[in-house]
Chains A and B, each alone.
Chain A
Amino acid sequence: MATLDNANPTILSASQLPTRQQRIPLRTGPDLRYNDIIFEKPSYLSRPFCDAQVASWPRTDASDGPLAAEPIDEQEIYDLISTISDPEHPVSLGQLSVINLPDIRITPAPHTPGVGPNTIITVLVEVTPTITHCSLATVIGLGVRVRLEQCLPPNYRIVVRCKENSHSQDDQVNKQLGDKERVAAALENDTLKGVLDKMLETCA
């Protein structure tokens, strides 16, 4: 590229980027060995004596154990897309603050009861282009959408938008990024596909 749209962007260091808080590891030592017995639901809370589900009673079935799949949360989405490279700088979208954790929203929220594999989950990502006239806003948005479509299960719908007032033509960019047919056709354009592949190379 002959001239850069933004020749001198602000770059964050890796330690300034959001990461998952180190969780206190779940204890799986011998003191949990008798959980099944200690926490077993007493028979008087079982049918036919009691129809109600006792919500507060700790459940011991295997699917709730520490190895069960965690629902996808905002931090996980952030981790998937913040490592995408900027199309014109050799740094990541996270470091350029194009992708920011508070600008990622999942609906319904992770851990919402009743969410099954067929529940449509919307992931909204608002990107903040480094400068308001950045002509690469569409390419960046496309990279985010493509990355998430490749990684997330089919019940996820990805909405990528420019953060309000961050881009002079954000309505146009938003409409393009929301158009499935345009996105599909763009991915068959070899030049554009080459740019996207390069951006996504840095994703783990």
Chain B
Amino acid sequence: MPSTHIQPLPPLTPDLHERAWSSTPHPTLPLLATAHAKSVTVFSLTTLTPHSNLTGGHTRSVRAASWKPNLPPHKLCLATGSFDSTAGIWRWEDRGAEHETEIRNGRDGNEKEEEDDWEFTLVLEGHDSEIKNCIFSPSGAHIATCSRDKSVWIWEDIGASESDDDWETIAVLNEHEGDVKALAWCPELPGRSRKGTFGVECLASASYDNTVRVWREDGDAEWVCVAVLEKHEGTVWGVQWEGRPRKGDKFPRILSFSADGTIRIWTLAQPSNEDGQEDGAAQGRNALGGIPNTMRQSLREDWVCTATLPKVHESDIYAATWSATTGLVASTGSDGTLALYRENEETGEWSLLESLPNAHGPYEVNHVSWCRRWDKGVDPSRRGVEEMLITTGDDGLVKPWGVQA
């Protein structure tokens, strides 16, 4: 296959020289948060060099970081999940803006700490063992964390103001039978709300127990498991939601990737009459782990595996990413191969566009994410618009890739 779709771009510098787990792009700003060892390095995607560091908050490796959405551009907030069983909330404010305020308030602005602009404002404690993932909801009002202790916790912002970090546990979800590896909140799309039954937020979790579970908030503000997606034959390393609106505002689909080397697409079976919830009741008992709860039966959703992507990886797929702009999917994993897939929107069939071996030389690649391009190499009119891929590897490199489909 000619190497035409994926082209390497200059890597971010400096090399971190140790395993890096994940790189999360900011939803709107040219920033990327890379989790490695006990810290997070924030890179500028404009200069492709470090912007700031988050250090000293965790006693073991940081596995994941998530940006709080919908903040003004001079305020940054990250949540981190660590193997030390805690999640942390960190804040950063543009010194310039703060300095002005201080002067206006008649205070001396000289006592600023030059180096450490990030403040570790809150630690979320509760999990019994390593946190594997931690993620803000699309509104920023919730954080979900998951752990080797088999649980998913949902935390709600009850702070009086933006700067007042006060988070309360509103749900502890214990239905997985193994480590919960990753989480994903359904994006804010028109198809997301189903009338009456649930709150708008919807969470998917992937587990060592080979399943994906879908969680929603019922009419009594209780978080419940509405579906168990069972087809994978190995640890499900993660899930992604479809980010593009679907025809007829149908509910977004789910993509899952696994140690079994497969990537699956799942679609919610939506009855034409949305009130026809009774249909699923008979099977509901089985899907919810035999809990004879009459209330829960009516809250069951029917998710069907509607596609399997072409097989590329022979071993664990550690990451896949689904573009909200183009609908393209990229995946990577233990074999170090970076693969790119496209769906035929007419037939719903997926084809492999390219499979690029040794994306990080001989090393395993732990993460891949779509991300906007902001660097000088891209035409100014396309800055912040054009998409690229970012891979993060065991070699400590964070590599951008240009994509032409």
A179 touches B235 (CB 8 A): yes
In the complex, which of the residues A120, A175, A182, A188 contacts B362, with contact meaning CB atoms closer than 8 Å? A120
CB-nearest residue of chain B to A119: B362
A184 touches B19 (CB 8 A): yes
B60 touches A117 (CB 8 A): no
A154 contacts B by Cβ under 8 Å: yes
Task: List the B side residues contacting A119 at CB < 8 Å.
Answer: 362
Q: A180-B316, A188-B60 are in contact. Are A153 and B362 (CB under 8 A)?
A: yes
Task: List the A side residues contacting B315 at CB < 8 Å.
Answer: 157
A188 touches B394 (CB 8 A): no
B362 touches A180 (CB 8 A): no
For chain B, residues 228 to 282, give those with C-beta under 8 angstroms from any C-beta of chain A: 235, 259
What separation, in Å, do the CA atoms of A14 and B158 have in the docked complex?
A: 66
In the complex, which of the residues B83, B179, B316, B361 contacts A118, with contact meaning CB atoms closer than 8 Å? B361
Interface size class of A (residues with CB under 8 A): 10 to 19
Q: A185-B130, A188-B60, A188-B61 are in contact. Are A118 and B208 (CB under 8 A)?
A: no
What separation, in Å, do the CA atoms of A182 and B61 have in the docked complex?
A: 12
A155 contacts B by Cβ under 8 Å: yes
Q: A118-B361, A185-B148, A188-B83 are in contact. Are A178 and B61 (CB under 8 A)?
A: no
Task: List the A side residues contacting B211 at CB < 8 Å.
Answer: none
B363 touches A185 (CB 8 A): no
For chain B, residues 344 to 376, give those with C-beta under 8 angstroms from any C-beta of chain A: 357-358, 361-364
B358 touches A180 (CB 8 A): no
A181 contacts B by Cβ under 8 Å: yes
Task: List the A side residues contacting B60 at CB < 8 Å.
Answer: 185, 188
B117 contacts A by Cβ under 8 Å: no
B395 touches A182 (CB 8 A): no
Task: List the A side residues contacting B316 at CB < 8 Å.
Answer: 178, 180
What separation, in Å, do the CA atoms of A120 and B395 have in the docked complex?
A: 15
Name B residues whose Cβ lies closer than 8 Å to a Cβ of A. Answer: 19, 60-61, 63, 83, 130, 132, 148, 179, 181, 208, 235, 259, 315-316, 318, 334-336, 357-358, 361-364, 394-395
8 closest A-B pairs by CB: A155-B362, A154-B362, A118-B358, A188-B60, A185-B130, A185-B83, A118-B362, A154-B363
| Sample of 29 A–B contacts (CB below 8 Å) | A117-B362, A118-B357, A118-B358, A118-B362, A119-B362, A120-B335, A153-B362, A154-B362, A154-B363, A155-B361, A157-B315, A157-B334, A157-B364, A175-B235, A178-B259, A179-B259, A180-B316, A180-B318, A180-B334, A180-B364, A181-B179, A182-B148, A182-B179, A184-B19, A184-B61, A185-B60, A188-B60, A188-B61, A188-B83
